Structure 1
Amino acid sequence: MSKDFSRSQRVADQIQRELADLIKAEVKDPRIGMITITAVEVTRDYAHAKIFYTTLSSKEDNILIEEGLKHASGFLRSQLSSRMKLRVIPQLHFIYDESIERGLYLSRLIDEAIGNKD
């Protein structure tokens, strides 16, 4: 079990590195600006991968970025197949990662609470 977990984690890590490189160097879609891939989760059978990403863009731009990523997913998947030695290249599902946004919001609340104590 732990051997299987470490393999799927290694595959997820490699997908994360490869996708970051591909998006930066190969994807020409103007909707996809600067994004950061924060995590990748691969199913046990490698059929699907959740790609978590974040960006500093507005909510409206995030919708366009998500559309651009969905549009580019077939291209990215085919590029992954040439870069990775896997029998099955997973379907890519892009999910906006709100954790950084939430962290900034909480940090602001804490700063405000501390500021109001004085």
Structure 2
Amino acid sequence: MSHRANRVGEQMKKELSEIIGRKIKDPRIGFVTVTDVAVTGDLQQATIYISVLGDEEQKENTLKGLSKATGFIRSEIGQRIRLRKTPEISFEFDESVTYGNRIESLITQIHSEQPANKDEE
């Protein structure tokens, strides 16, 4: 990924948090955190990675709400960031947060199953 694509991604991430948090009034959209934005080198496509607080149903509803608001979000980004062409955007769940929590719980489980004093083995 080019340096420029990284910069655009970071700027989009900052603006998206503001747009999703304050501008969109869709009741389906829950508590969303924009964790990352991956922009292609030609700045034509942007994948927005999100994490959502709640159960699977809340996550799905949030994704539907964000998908419906894609046009509005894209036009807001276009007004805030000076680019010749605003990238097409798509939303995906950031599985790394869930994956990280799973790894952490497995490590905790392993530590709790080990004997307390290793010298006694």
TM-score norm. by structure 2 comes to 0.90
SS at match of 1:102: helix
Alignment of 1:2-41 (within 5 A): 5-41=2-38
The alignment covers a number of residue pairs equal to: 115
Query: Would you say 1:45 and 2:39 are equivalent positions?
Result: no
Unpaired segments ≥5 residues, structure 1: none
Per-residue CA deviations over 1:34-89 (Å, capped at 9, x if unaligned) read: 11111111112211100001122111211111101101110000111111110110
Aligned to 1:66: 63
Over the matched positions of the two proteins, sequence identity in percent amounts to 36
Unpaired segments ≥5 residues, structure 2: 116-121
Q: Which amino acid aligns with 1:60?
A: E
1:115 to 104, 108, 112: 112
Aligned to 1:95: 92
8 A Cα contact 2:49 2:93, kept in partner: yes
TM-score norm. by structure 1 comes to 0.92
Q: Distance in 2 between matches of 1:56 and 1:77?
A: 23
Over the residues paired in the alignment, what is the CA RMSD in angstroms? Answer: 1.2
The ranges of structure 1 where at least 4 consecutive aligned residues each deviate by more than 3 angstroms after the TM superposition are: none
Q: Which amino acid aligns with 1:81?
A: G
